[in-house]
Structure 1
Amino acid sequence: MASSAGMRRAGVGAGFINGVPYDIIECRYSPARWTRETLKGQNGIHGYSENPQQGRIIMSIRDAGGMTVRDFNDMSDAEVQLQLATNKTVGGSGLWCTEAVEVSTGEATMEVTFEGVSVTETPTS
């Protein structure tokens, strides 16, 4: 009989920026390398164009007294790592924070977006 731990498919175990752990509310990530657009003409579909796509990790985190929100805006060579509940690891290095971070004081939450040349995912073995 399989254990219930082997059935877990969702959730984040931990999130780190430059080795510092943060209180994670939710995350999204994209390791996509390409974006494609269909090329259409009046006589039909001609094919597609292909352009590079940046990797992206978006984290919704909780503000805390020991952190300075403005510091995120200065992050331009960051290492971001997620350890997912499935034991998959998602991460990238040399990432930059692309959004002006705003804090919602009602819940002390903020969304930080990091982008870069590559975001990788390492599945569980």
Structure 2
Amino acid sequence: MGDTSNRIAGTANVVVDGLTIMVAGKFKYRPSKVKRETLTGMDRVHGYKETPISGLISMDVRDSGGTSVTDFNDMTNVTVTATLANGKIIIGSGMWTTDAQEVESEDAVFSVTFESDDVSEN
């Protein structure tokens, strides 16, 4: 068996409430809790403002025969768990989908974005 100790990217295995989904690509996550914006005046930088933001897990999903696109649109209060090539485990709790899913039929893929206030990386 090959040595994968230096592997840091390239795979994401995702489970949504116990259902394993086919990740086609573009996996992203955001465990951040706040967004900061610099506030400037005409004389100098005054500081920054800080506003809360939601955590995020998003990806392109393959529309396989066992996948229901409608079910993704109905998802609220789900747990999303992703295991990445570098060994990190990303967990989002109480998540909901935020966009309407549109399937691109040439490659049978659609984008899905989950958001909540609870995304962590371990």
TM range (shorter): over 0.9
2:23 matched to which residue of 1?
Answer: 24
Contact 1:82 1:90 in 2 (8 A): yes
SS in 1 for 2:67: coil
2:73 matched to which residue of 1?
Answer: 73
1-side partners of 2:16 and 2:38: how far apart?
Answer: 36
Contact 1:14 1:84 in 2 (8 A): yes
SS in 2 for 1:5: coil
1-side partners of 2:12 and 2:38: how far apart?
Answer: 38
The one-letter code of the counterpart of 1:75 is M
The one-letter code of the counterpart of 2:17 is N
SS in 2 for 1:6: coil
2:13 matched to which residue of 1?
Answer: 14
1:120 aligned onto 2:120: yes
User: 1:22-101 maps to which residues of 2 (within 5 A)?
Assistant: 22-26=21-25, 27-101=27-101
Cα RMSD after superposing both structures:
1.2
Give a deviation string over 1:71-112, Cα, whole Å, max 9, x none.
111111111010001111001110000000010000000110
In the alignment of these two chains, the number of paired residues is 120
Same amino acid, percent of matched pairs: 40
The one-letter code of the counterpart of 2:4 is A
TM-fit CA distance, 1:70: 1.0
SS in 1 for 2:40: strand
**TM-score where L is the length of structure 1:** 0.91
1:106 matched to which residue of 2?
Answer: 106
The one-letter code of the counterpart of 1:84 is L
1-side partners of 2:12 and 2:116: how far apart?
Answer: 23
The one-letter code of the counterpart of 2:24 is I
Which 4+ stretches in 1 moved above 6 angstroms? Answer: none
**TM-score where L is the length of structure 2:** 0.94
The one-letter code of the counterpart of 1:105 is S
Ranges in structure 1 where 5+ consecutive residues have no aligned partner: none
Ranges in structure 2 where 5+ consecutive residues have no aligned partner: none
TM-fit CA distance, 1:11: 2.0
2-side partners of 1:48 and 1:112: how far apart?
Answer: 32
SS in 2 for 1:104: coil
